[in-house]
Amino acid sequence: MPFELFVALRYLREGRLQTWLILTGVGVGVGAIIFVSALITGLQQSLVDRTLGSQAHVVVRPPEEMPRVLERRDSALRATVVQRPPQRVRSIVEWQRVQDLIRRIPGVVAVAPTVAGPAMAVRGLGATSVTVRGIEIESYEPIVDLEGKVVDGRFDLTGFKAMVGTELARKLGLEVGGRVRLQAAGDRGGVYTVAGIFDLGNKDLNERWVFVSLRGAQTMFNLVGGVSTLEIKGTEIFQADNLAARIRDRTGLDAESWMTRNSDLLVGLRSQSQSSTMIQVFVILAVALGIASVLAVSVVQKSREIGILKATGTRTASVTRIFLLQGAMLGMAGSLLGIAIGTCLALFFASLATNPDGSPRFPVDLNLVLFGRSVAVALVVGLLSAILPARRAARMDPATVIRNG
Amino acid sequence: MADTASPLLQARALTKTYGERIVTPVLKGIDLDLLAREFCALTGPSGSGKTTLLNVIGLLARPTDGRIFLDGHDTGNLHDDARTRLRARFLGFVFQFHHLLPAFTAAENVMMPLLSRHRRRKSWMRPRALELLEEVGLADRADYRVIDLSGGQQQRVAVARALVMDPPLVLADEPTGNLDTEASRRVLQLMRSFNERRSTAFLIVTHDEHIARQCDRVVHMVDGRVDSDTRNGARVAPPPD
């Protein structure tokens, strides 16, 4: 065992109470960091998962229709009123070519052609407005895992079969095998059989969305052979804004990311992250001050011994290392204790409240990266906090401290 | 090991002052040669500068002026680490209050200079420490924590530690000042026996005339200067300039 490690370990063992107190302090601090990080990351992940559980990362649409003002080539002064036309469901021009173009953009995982438009869902005397979404199961499945969200019936959109949300089913009294009329503008539509009922985890979407086959929606919105939207999944969810910008640049179409559509959620997530960072910074500061103060006291208590070590041939660098090692070991051991404390706390908290399906209501995200980062931070903080006490110890004049203590 | 007749330590015109605003001169021009294998007492009234001289020639403190040669090495311009290396190689220390490290056992205290010199524990170190503890009569206390030993035993551990690197010179500051008569006698006997068997030179700061009388040479200091220097009763000539 290296000399400095031997002495540092013995000093830590000798100051048992001090060592345990500071280890507990570091442990509680690191535990708090782990608990807060795991909870906030878990909650954020859960929120993002729920949001993206029903949405594509980027949605591409044709540009909105805008009226063109006809210019007359004379000098007469005219007052012109430009009225915004009502938007209708339109197809993306040459959508197959655009789809291929988007697929080749780096960062794109999957592209699904869809048709989406407003309609009325009517059953008997009950009616409600819905958004009909025409999809191809094969291309849409990589974007949103609908199959996993079916709570009754099965995921089948062949022919005149439709999937409705739990809220719509409740509102119109629909059951699997029941029938519902979907009617779009221009009295286009048809009677569909409910093949399955889904729960997207969002009450509003469960009430408004109805899935039919792509072909059925194309007919309903008079878009035979066309698609109104291309829905895209990217590799990085938080790079969706950049991906949307790249798609806009390449295609000239409107491309909107989930981040733009859910800007309030993102502001919330960022605020959470910032408050979590602030908590972590203050905890790290408290841990650093704790280690530094214990080592500073230790240097004062051991000043005579430091003088003796130097008098008997221990070099200044070795004295410095003895105290740096103590700081590093306190940080390392404290962080391991903290991982245990934080993990227990997080798991306990997650077990307090559960969803009906048994999943935790407050999910926590405990992972090796978080643990590794905590150990690294505590190690660096331990070393940094030991620098000043170590330098003070190294500067001690052996003759003076041996005489005066 | 240096020749008996050649000076192991040479101090020339050593001065040491303390304080910046109020300057207090403690050493006022000390010239002193110490030969290898000498058993020498450094006496003088309190405040005469004995301990300061010991610290300065032990390279624990730098002189304000003057030069020190240790086995021919000029120590004047050496940086702290070089002084530490020289100290570890040539000097052993015994302090009045033994100054052992309380967190360690007797054997570990004795091994400490070896550990810090070689940077890690080696298999031969403990037998070497046990051999010395045997010589000071404490082999059966090797694994006791030093705080569990009596004052006399602690001082004997300190003597063993001072000798573990086999230094040619041991500097002892009032080594018996804190001990009862029997323990004092035993520690002195021990140092004398090492001087005779291992040819280790000793420079012993003491107030005790009984100890001084048992030394071959007595250097007496008064007010920061060497007042008298006698070897076996005969005056020692001051070293040449």
Q: Which residues of B touch A311 (CB under 8 A)?
A: 58, 60, 87, 93
Q: Which residue in A has a C-alpha nearest to residue B56's C-alpha?
A: A399
Query: Would you state the pLDDT for residue A80?
Result: 77
H helical segments located in A141-262: 166-172, 203-208, 214-220, 240-251, 258-261
Check residue B223 and give left, alpha or beta (phi > 0: left; psi -120 to 50: alpha): left
> Which tens digits make up the pLDDT trace of B147-188?
899 888 888 898 889 888 888 999 998 888 777 787 788 888
Examine the pLDDT at A120 and tell me if it is beyond 90.
yes
Torsion, Cα B112 B114 B115 B119, to 10 degrees, reads: 150
Q: Specify the higher pLDDT residue, A165 or A51.
A: A165
Size of interface A-B (CB pairs under 8 A): 74
Examine the pLDDT at A211 and tell me if it is beyond 90.
yes
What Cα–Cα distance (Å) separates residue A66 from each residue in A60, A88, A229? 18, 12, 18
Examine the pLDDT at B3 and tell me if it is beyond 60.
no
Query: Would you state the pLDDT for residue B238?
Result: 77
In this prediction, residues A341-360 reach a mean pLDDT of 82
What Cα–Cα distance (Å) separates residue B156 from each residue in B13, B132, B185? 34, 10, 11
In this prediction, residues A186-194 reach a mean pLDDT of 89
> Which tens digits make up the pLDDT trace of B86-95?
888 888 888 8
Query: Would you state the pLDDT for residue A214?
Result: 92
Q: Which residues of B touch A9 (CB under 8 A)?
A: none
Q: Which of A1-5, A127-131, B210-214 has the largest mean confidence?
A: A127-131
Query: Would you state the pLDDT for residue A404?
Result: 61
Neighbours of A384 (CB within 10 A): 16
Residue by residue, DSSP assigns A64-109 as PP-PPPPPPSS-------PPPPPP---PPTTHHHHHHHHHTSTTEE
Instruction: Assess contact for B19 and B25: CB atoms under 8 A.
Output: no
Dihedral sign for Cα atoms in the order B166, B170, B176, B182? positive
> Which tens digits make up the pLDDT trace of B131-141?
889 888 888 99
Examine the pLDDT at A168 and tell me if it is beyond 90.
yes
H helical segments located in A211-364: 214-220, 240-251, 258-261, 263-301, 303-311, 316-352
Q: Which of A310, A312, A398 has its CB closest to that of B161?
A: A312
In this prediction, residues A189-203 reach a mean pLDDT of 90
> Which tens digits make up the pLDDT trace of B189-235?
888 888 888 888 999 998 888 888 889 999 999 999 988 888 877 78
Q: What 3-state DSSP class applies to B63?
A: coil
Examine the pLDDT at A346 and tell me if it is beyond 80.
yes
Torsion, Cα B130 B133 B137 B142, to 10 degrees, reads: -70
- Which CATH superfamily does the domain covering B37-62+77-235 fall into? P-loop containing nucleotide triphosphate hydrolases (3.40.50.300)
Q: Across the interface, do B103 and A309 touch by the CB < 8 Å criterion? A: no
Q: Which residue has the tokens 């981040």?
A: A259
Q: Which residues of A touch B61 (CB under 8 A)?
A: 397, 399-400
A237 CB-near residues (< 8 Å, 6+ apart) = A48, A52, A57, A258
What is the C-alpha to C-alpha distance for residues B198 and B200, in angstroms, rounded to an integer? 5
Closest CA to A61 of A245, A227, A250: A227
Rounded to a whole number, what is the distance in Å from the CA of A5 to chain B's nearest CA? 9
Q: Across the interface, do A318 and B116 touch by the CB < 8 Å criterion? A: yes
Q: Across the interface, do B165 and A13 touch by the CB < 8 Å criterion? A: no
Q: Which of A2, A311, A316 has its CB closest to that of B93?
A: A311
Q: Across the interface, do B88 and A1 touch by the CB < 8 Å criterion? A: no
Query: Would you state the pLDDT for residue B152?
Result: 84
Question: What's at A389, amino acid-wise?
Answer: P
Instruction: Assess contact for A131 and A89: CB atoms under 8 A.
Output: no
Query: Would you state the pLDDT for residue B241?
Result: 65
CB < 8 Å from B in window 124-163 of A: none
Mean per-residue pLDDT of chain A = 85
> Which tens digits make up the pLDDT trace of B8-58?
899 999 999 988 888 888 899 889 999 888 999 999 998 899 989 998 998
